[in-house]
Structures are given as structure tokens and as C-alpha cells.
Amino acid sequence: MPVPQAKLDALAARIAGLDLVRGGWAGAARTEALARLGAMGLPARRDEYWRYTDPADLIAPQAPRAATFAAADEPPVFDGIDRLRIVFVDGVFDPALSDDLTLAGVEIELLSSAGQTDIHWAREVYGVLEARGQTPVQRPLAALNTAFAAQGVLIRATGRAARPVALIYLHRSETSDAILHHCIKVEAGAELTVLESGPAAARFNKVMEVDVAAGGRFHHIRAQGRDHGRRAATHLFARLGAESLLKSFTLTANGVLTRNEVVIELLGDDAVAHIAGAAVGDGAFHHDDTVFITHAGQRCESRQVFKKVLKNGAVGVFQGKILVKPGAQKTDGYQISQSLLLDGDSQFLAKPELEIYADDVKCSHGSTSGAIDEVALFYLRSRGVPEAAAKSLLVLAFLAETIAEIEDGTIAEDIRLRLHNWLERHGR
């Protein structure tokens, strides 16, 4: 089917001001991504995968303006965690704010400086997992990212990382339009935790490709920035080898528009992938989780746990799919998406999908939308807990299943505190 002219026009307008970085080991991947992109055009509201989220602001030639925001009421997230900090300001690496990039068990390089050599391990990852993730669903924003990203990190874990690597995204310019592309390789038996935090820019397009080899373990905890006007489209592409593990948790508090796509391939046998998200929105807040999990190996386990707390017209979207390929026997797939609507103005749209081509599998999915449980609220109040505190307790209880996916207790506690503070600020 030919690409509609409008999509191609949108693409031409969008990339007119962008420079393609040529040469080096990533050069071919970039030109191939540009070719992929040319064959797709940019997403439009009429596309099935953009039915619930209007991509207009994500594809516009200029990033819509977003005021910067300094949170004076709480310390930056993960501040109390011993970590290696890599700071990007409006999408550009800032060496002065970053730590020295040496860490036992891990090799860290910048895409901007490592990209010009001819040979690099990241060649097997950069654009490769993104390209695999383009079927059966097109993800043009990710291809655009691969083609034009000049900044990002390349992280290779060869052992057990001594401490988490923290990617910190600061937003300083009201018109910044950031594109970051990270490649992560967790070698056989290695273990790595990556933290991400901050709004990054007025508009943020980020791709993270994660290749986890046999027996590797990858933990990902992300807290997207509180800036009210920011917009983000992010993609996490992951490929999992035998007996490997990936756990990813995302907290989204505020932000006018967020689309988080996760594309996981469980290739090896006995691999485990848990994806969780807690989103809290008040007012102008549109949050979209779009997840695609492919079970190719046998006896793999996947969990998707997504919860959203919405008020004052906030909108939540969940599109989650589990695809079980022929031969992926003993698959254990679980998917739950729930929203807690704190008033009658908010909206939750969910599209759970299962597609199964193996006969010995266990897959379940559920989606609910509801208000605070009045009976539980009365029970708490009858024990002396004031109404506001009781509501707060119930909202945190609703979100608890997502936080339970964070293995590190200190990090989980930090996330819980953010949610608690958000509830305090937003009058529950």
C-alpha cells in the first residue's frame, strides 16, 4: 500500500532541520533507518496504533514550547542512591555534571564519540532491535530516532555492575527538542541496573535498545520528569536470551503528553520479562503505554502491570499485546491494566490483545477502571484515619503491584515517596 502523501509531507517537514550523522559503524544503520522511515512516513491519528493518542505534537517540525520546572518541594529522584551519573542537558551530554564514566563490570561510552570508529560491539544492537520491532507494527518515531540520534550512551555489562548507571535528563530550554539513543548489552551472566530520570527537553524522543544474553539480568527503573508541559515518545526494545531476566518500571507523574512503547522479544528459553508502569495525572495529562511482547522461546514468563491514577480530565491509554509464536510452549503471560479515576472527568482507554499460536500456554489479561472503594474508605476512617490520608493509602495500595516489580528496596522506597508526595500535592 502506498504511503499517504500527508505522512510523507509530515516526515519531510519534520526532518528538514535534522542532520544525518554519516560514516562510522553506525552509518549504515542510520541510512537504513532513514529508508525504513521513508517507507512508513510519520504516524497519524488515523493509524490503528495511534487511535487513542494524537501524535500531532510528537511529529510537528518544531517542539511545542514547554516551560522548565524546578521542583523545590522534594530532592531529585534517586538522589539517595549510590550511582554513576551521566547527565544530558536538553539532550546533550554534559561532562561537567557527569561522573567519570568508569565502573567495574561495565564499559560506558558516548554515542557522540564512539560513533566514528569502524568496529564496535554496538553495531549488533544499534538500530537492529528497533528494526526487528517494526513488524508487525510500524514505529516510525523509533526509526526517526535511529536515523538522526547523535547523542546517547553505549553500555556493555560484562560482569556484575558495581552500582547502577543513572541517566539524568535535565530540561533547561523551553524549546529544546531532544533525540537520544542508548544501546545496552548485558553479556552472559552479567547484571546491570539502569536508572533514568528527568524530563529531558520540551520534547523528547528516546530509544533504548537492550540486548540481554543468556543468563544476563537487566533492571530498569525510570522516573519521567515532573515538568508539566513536556512531551515524550520513548521506545524500549529488548531481546532476551535463554534464562535471562529483564525488569522495567516506569513512574510518570505529570507531563502533558507521554507515549511509552515497550517491545520485548523473549527469544531464548526460560527468559523472564516484567514490565510495570505507574502513572499519576492531574488535568492536562495524556499518558499512553503501548506494549508488545513476543514469546518465541519455551517456558518464558512475561508480566505487564500498568496502573494509572487520573483526575481532572487526565487521560490514560494502554495498548498491550502478547504474541505467542508457534513452538513457544509453556509460555506464562500475564497482563493487567487498571485505572483509578478520582473523578468523573477522567478517562482510561485500554486495548489488551492476545495472539497465540502454541497450544500449551497460560496467558491471562485483565483491565479495569474504577473509583476509590467507598467501603474500604469508610473502614479506614472508622479506625480514625482522616479522609485524605485514607484516600492516599488506598491510592498507594492500588499502585503497589507496580512498585512490587522493583527488586531494589531502596529504589522502590524512593518511588513510593514520589507517589506519596504527588498525592499530597494534588489533594489526593
Partner 1 sequence: MLEINNLHVKLEAEDKPILRGVDLRVAAGTVHAIMGPNGSGKSTLSYVLAGRDGYAVTDGTATLDGADLLAMEPEERAAAGLFLAFQYPVEIPGVGNMTFLRTAVNAQRKARGQEEMSAGEFLKVVRDRARTLKIDADMLKRPVNVGFSGGEKKRNEILQMAMLEPKMCILDETDSGLDVDAMKLVSDGVNALRDAGRAFLVITHYQRLLDHIRPDVVHIMADGRIVKTGGPDLALEVEKNGYAGILAEAV
Residues that bind partner 1 (CB under 8 A): 374-376, 378-387, 389-390, 393-394, 396-401
**Nearer of residues 356 and 394 to partner 1, judged by Cβ:** 394
Q: Which residues of 230-252 are buried (b: 16+ CB within 10 A; e: fewer)?
A: bbbbbbbbbbbbbbbbbbbbbbb
We find the least distance from the C-beta atom of residue 186 to partner 1, in angstroms, to be 32
How far, CA to CA in Å, does 226 sit from each of 72, 188, 231? 12, 36, 11
Rounded distance between C-alpha atoms, residue 112 and residue 266, angstroms: 30
We find the least distance from the C-beta atom of residue 379 to partner 1, in angstroms, to be 4
- Best CA proximity match to 403, nearest among 389, 418, 391, 388: 418
Tell me the residue type at 83.
Answer: R
**Nearer of residues 132 and 381 to partner 1, judged by Cβ:** 381
**Nearer of residues 394 and 412 to partner 1, judged by Cβ:** 394
| β pairing state of 153-157 and 106-110 | antiparallel
We find the least distance from the C-beta atom of residue 362 to partner 1, in angstroms, to be 22
We find the least distance from the C-beta atom of residue 387 to partner 1, in angstroms, to be 7
Rounded distance between C-alpha atoms, residue 55 and residue 215, angstroms: 38
**Nearer of residues 195 and 403 to partner 1, judged by Cβ:** 403
We find the least distance from the C-beta atom of residue 251 to partner 1, in angstroms, to be 16
**Nearer of residues 82 and 387 to partner 1, judged by Cβ:** 387
**Nearer of residues 298 and 402 to partner 1, judged by Cβ:** 402
Judge whether 164 and 191 are in contact, CB under 8 Å.
no
How far, CA to CA in Å, does 245 sit from each of 156, 291, 303, 335, 365? 16, 17, 12, 17, 21
We find the least distance from the C-beta atom of residue 419 to partner 1, in angstroms, to be 12
Judge whether 414 and 78 are in contact, CB under 8 Å.
yes
